[in-house]
Structure 1
Amino acid sequence: MRLQRLGAGGLPAEVLRALHARARNRSLPTPAALIGQWFEAAAVIAPHLQARPVAPRDAFPSRYANRPTTTTTGGEPVIGGGWIGYRAYPDGAGRLPDAAGGWTDSVLRLDTSGCWWYESLTDIPCPAYLAAAALDPQCEPEPWSMRWTPPDRQSHHNNVEACKAAIRAGEVYQSCICTQFTGQLTGRPADFFTDAIEQTRPARAAYLQGHWGAVASLSPELFLARNGTTVTSSPIKGTLPLSADPAALRGSAKDVAENVMIVDLVRNDLGRLAVTGTVTVTDLLRVRPAPGVWHLVSTVQAQIPPTTTTVELFEASFPPASVTGCPKTRAQQLISDWETQPRGVYCGTVGMSSPLAGLELNVAIRTVEFTATGSAVLGVGGGITIDSDPASEWQECLDKARTILDLTPASPAHSSLC
């Protein structure tokens, strides 16, 4: 293993632009990135990643995720390398593979003080080009444009009413109802993503690309984090636009009920594997900002046996509770009837499993998937309870999508130096 301090340098978007430009110029595999709050770092970038389709059960291999976190003498987690990828929501054939990802032997890590580190599971020193990309990226933004087509409002209205009817009939207590914006990108998905993280600064952003297309996740939500035998999940339920008074979230009976029901579902999911008596709610109904909105966020933690595999974790808790409903199985069945298009990567998960840092996965909301030809899909949705108003639920979808729909390409200060 090698841990090499590089020093202060470029912003994550700048470093990612430089590495993408180098990969294109040399016909190399493209970088993958986790930006925001991952493994107690501000950014984790794999310089090159062969992101290939895999069977869903093979995503995030267990042998890389069930050991206690390795730390530096300063207490910072060491990542070194690992498997980065995604697993789509399980609702049939989507536009992209059901799962994809790949292995990296090394990463660039940006710590929270602004220092870049080169970390490798091998003993190979940091290549000069990689240090240069981190410390002095020298690469300006490239142009892109996106043409979005909105979803059908009446269809979403009908699905909300159908969900409320199912609640009155005792089928479910709550369900997440989603819809989709479709788009066409002119330019490169990587340029869309780098501009997006600069303009929105999401907590759990992730990007990877392959011959099949690309995934640009601008998520604020943690699905699962595993450090040895400790598993943590932080479901989001309850939303208001940033222009509203955040105190109104805690005062909303509908939003509070929505969050508490999902917290109970997460407790149930983790409880299927947890050591008896170890499932705890460490934070309940915390109001937190996300791009364009306020959210209610809670945190559930549990201890699991050390032999627990990632496959078992997924069997117990996937898809994430916050994008399904209560009870989960019946909610998923009804969702498949109400929603006419597969969710795809949206409402699945993107993240990394590392032999040194453990497992971290987001909930793939605020996530755009791109096909190889540039067609794009942005899913949006929200939790429906008996108190839901279809017009308000539609507005919540617009509020969540707004920061992505309003993205604009960055203007280069001068001609590109890539």
Structure 2
Amino acid sequence: MRTNKPFKPKSINTFKQNLLQWSQQFDDIVWLDSNNHRTQYSSYDAILAVDAFTSIKTDYVEAFKRLEDYQRSTKDWIFGYLTYDLKNTTEALKSDNLDNLNFPDLYFFQPKKLFLIKDDSVEIKYLSMVDDEIDKDLKAINSFSNTNPVEKPCKPIKIKLRIHKDDYFKKVNKMLSHIQRGDIYEANFCQEFYAEGSVINPIESFNKLNTISKPPFATYLKQGDRYLLSASPERYIKKEGQKIISQPIKGTAKRLQNIDDDKLLADNLVKDEKERSENIMIVDLVRNDLSQTAENGSVRVEELCKVYSFLQVHQMISTVTSRVSETMSPVEILKTTFPMGSMTGAPKISAMNIIEDLEETKRGLYSGSVGYFKPDGDFDFNVIIRSILYNQSKQYVSYSVGSAITAKSEPLREYEECLIKAKAMREVLEK
């Protein structure tokens, strides 16, 4: 049972800043911030879940079954992540590439302490065993001083490329050969940027990244000595009652300071045949995935190829919805749609096999998902892109970026798109 306490801080922005700093004392943290992108599908402006009461940590083997058992047994709020490599439990696939981050394949926890922020109010939900700590914690949060950071700022680090430019071109050309042979129509090809022997301040780095990007699905996750600092603009999937919502992104253009030039880039993105074809192919894939659990005739494309503008980039986003029966398992909906089409390609299994062959590193949490289940089985999950990953014990820092390769792709243009997507993470780490 949870104790609920409504709370209205004097300044919601100050409370949010203090709350995230206060949370650093815990080993298990999930912070989700919409940065006031109040779309029609936004349930909360921000959420903090901390301090695991129970948890599940597993490799990919029967991972979704274990998650379903855990979700059903807790019947509570649970928060966590799905790595891309859970593909190996739904299909006969493997992940043998280099992995220097070592995130468990799946991790969820039932938090003792939960803060739900909407507008200028906070709903506080503590498990009954710790509800006597609410007032003490609020006092600590409200008196927290940002002038005394949790850790000292760290020096800039030097980022290395896992795949150098010439090799990138060769790999993209191999992927184009697969497309020309008809093995695939489209695949998302990713590359890693990394630094070894490096120390960063996770909360400082996250705050910088979030300030630069202000995305609708920002995430700060801590699981022991591993961190995710994410400026994701993309929702993977949400369940709201019997309605399922998926919002894949395909199509990117950079932002410019000149208003007229910037608007021209956004207008050109809307008309770009290659970018639209990428998006539409993934929309078809998402429609097919959702149809596996949807009631007959309920899959709908509510928005097709709409351009949204963020601080760093313009993005082309589509919205696909479906309706499921009241008895449909929430985890089954995830299992039949994961990994998300925007990070794989079409046909999905062929694309994932080719991706595994051509990429140099195991994706792990990158292009996976972070989110939560409510006690009633509703859920909301993002797509882990535009993110910094950090293994503190190994002093290893990583971020990956990718682009969709289609028959119309030009290797140089794809490489330049990757650099646009990498700009914010590089700026945070190297300055």
Q: If the length of structure 2 is used for normalisation, what is the TM-score?
A: 0.83
Correspondence for 1:362 among 371, 382, 390:
382
Q: Secondary structure at the match of 2:428?
A: coil
Return 237-246 or 307-316, whichever deviates more.
307-316
Shift of residue 183 of structure 1? 2.0
Shift of residue 134 of structure 1? 4.5
**CA 1:135–1:6: 2 relative to 1, 3 Å:** farther
Partner Cα distance (2:121, 2:430) in 1:
27
1:137 alignment counterpart: 144
Kept after mapping to 1: 8 A contact 2:330/2:377 = no
1:175 aligns with 2:196: no
2:89 alignment counterpart: none
Structure 1: where are the runs of 5+ without partners?
66-79, 411-418
Shift of residue 48 of structure 1? 2.2
Kept after mapping to 1: 8 A contact 2:126/2:134 = no
How many residue pairs match? The answer is: 390
Partner Cα distance (2:66, 2:421) in 1:
28
Q: Secondary structure at the match of 2:204?
A: helix
Partner Cα distance (2:342, 2:66) in 1:
21
Shift of residue 161 of structure 1? 1.2
Shift of residue 298 of structure 1? 0.5
Partner Cα distance (2:114, 2:106) in 1:
22
Correspondence for 1:238 among 243, 251, 256:
251
Correspondence for 2:81 among 80, 86, 89:
86
Correspondence for 1:34 among 32, 35, 43:
32
1:75 alignment counterpart: none
Shift of residue 5 of structure 1? 2.4
> Identity rate of aligned residues, in percent?
25
| Letter paired with 1:144 | C
Kept after mapping to 1: 8 A contact 2:212/2:312 = no
Structure 2: where are the runs of 5+ without partners?
86-93, 257-261
2:359 alignment counterpart: 339
Q: Secondary structure at the match of 2:51?
A: coil
Kept after mapping to 2: 8 A contact 1:88/1:344 = yes
Partner Cα distance (1:409, 1:45) in 2:
28
1:395 aligns with 2:406: no
Q: Deviations over 1:209-241 (max 9, x none)?
A: 223522222211000101222111000000000
Q: Secondary structure at the match of 2:84?
A: coil
Q: Deviations over 1:47-86 (max 9, x none)?
A: 3247663243267547758xxxxxxxxxxxxxx9621111
**CA 1:308–1:290: 2 relative to 1, 3 Å:** same
- The structure richer in helix per residue is 2
2:3 alignment counterpart: 2
**CA 1:30–1:311: 2 relative to 1, 3 Å:** closer
Partner Cα distance (2:159, 2:18) in 1:
26
Q: Secondary structure at the match of 1:186?
A: coil
Q: Deviations over 1:362-396 (max 9, x none)?
A: 11111222113230110100111111111111111
**CA 1:134–1:60: 2 relative to 1, 3 Å:** farther
Return 379-388 or 146-155, whichever deviates more.
146-155
Partner Cα distance (1:220, 1:181) in 2:
20
| Letter paired with 1:398 | L
Shift of residue 253 of structure 1? 0.3
Correspondence for 1:54 among 55, 58, 65:
58
Q: Secondary structure at the match of 1:400?
A: helix
1:297 aligns with 2:317: yes
Correspondence for 2:120 among 106, 110, 114:
114
Partner Cα distance (2:116, 2:430) in 1:
26
Kept after mapping to 1: 8 A contact 2:113/2:125 = yes
1:223 alignment counterpart: 236
Kept after mapping to 1: 8 A contact 2:52/2:112 = no
